[in-house]
Amino acid sequence: MIKSLLFPTACAICDKGSRTLCSDCYEALKNRNLKISKSENSSLKYLIYFVDYDLMYKKLIHKGKYCLNKEVWRIIGHLISDKLDIKSNSIITYVPLHWMRYCKRGFNQSKLIAERIGKTISLIRRVKNNSSFTMLSASERIAKSCELFEVRNKDLSNVYTCYIIDDVVTTRATLEACSSLVKQKYPHIEVIGISFAKTPKHSEFMVV
Ligand SMILES: [Zn+2]
């Protein structure tokens, strides 16, 4: 009772009910199909995503990210997992947060999604915190983003596919940087991105 007074919960999309997602909004999400987008100049084989990053889903993501509601990410991970056929000889990893941001938030939302999809490994390490790359071109942004991450040494000789989870894809520079670093270290592996939401306007992916 006291908890609900201090932390009132209502559906993150429609503000009704008393759950993180009401049954109507949950069902509406459940009935959506995953989408695939491809880009010719991408190190990703393709990106699988669930929804366009519009106002309705911004509210949901805000609740998960800034109201620190972990349940949002578990639900999203579950919804994606239900629709996805994970290839054999594959690994699932995620875009890491810088440790300072991780300490502040207490969790990495991309990791929470990944853990619902399957057994997750920590393959990528963030060595620097985000900088603002808004003045840079798309290729410069990817090059600069590569400086933020390192890929760990692992025996992945039997692995053919690496899924990288990123909660939201906007400019795609972060996911693209992680993918290209994984491919540099493990050229025999194909990388597939998985995201809950993708910004349609600023994306350079072609929706197919
Ligand atoms: Zn709702």
% of the chain with per-residue pLDDT over 90: 57
Domains of the chain (ranges; CATH) run 33-207 (3.40.50)
Q: What is the pLDDT of residues 134-149, one digit of tens each?
A: 778 888 888 888 999 9
Q: How much is the mean pLDDT over the chain? A: 88
The whole-number pLDDT of residue 196 equals: 94
- Does pLDDT of 205 surpass 70? no
pLDDT tens-digit profile of 91-101? 999 999 988 88
Task: Give the Å distance between the CA of 75 and the centre of ligand 1.
Answer: 13
- Compute the distance from residue 73 Cα to the ligand 1 centre, in Å: 16
Contact 195, 165 (CB under 8 A): yes
Q: Which amino acid is at 64?
A: G
Number of Cβ within 10 Å of residue 68's Cβ equals 14
* In the predicted structure, residue 2 carries a pLDDT above the cut 70: no
Q: State the distance from the centre of ligand 1 to the C-alpha of 67, rounded, in angstroms.
A: 17
0.75 exceeded by pTM: yes
Q: What pLDDT score was predicted for residue 135?
A: 76
For 65-81, the pLDDT digits (tens) are: 888 889 999 999 999 99
Say how many Å lie between the CA of residue 59 and the centre of ligand 1.
11
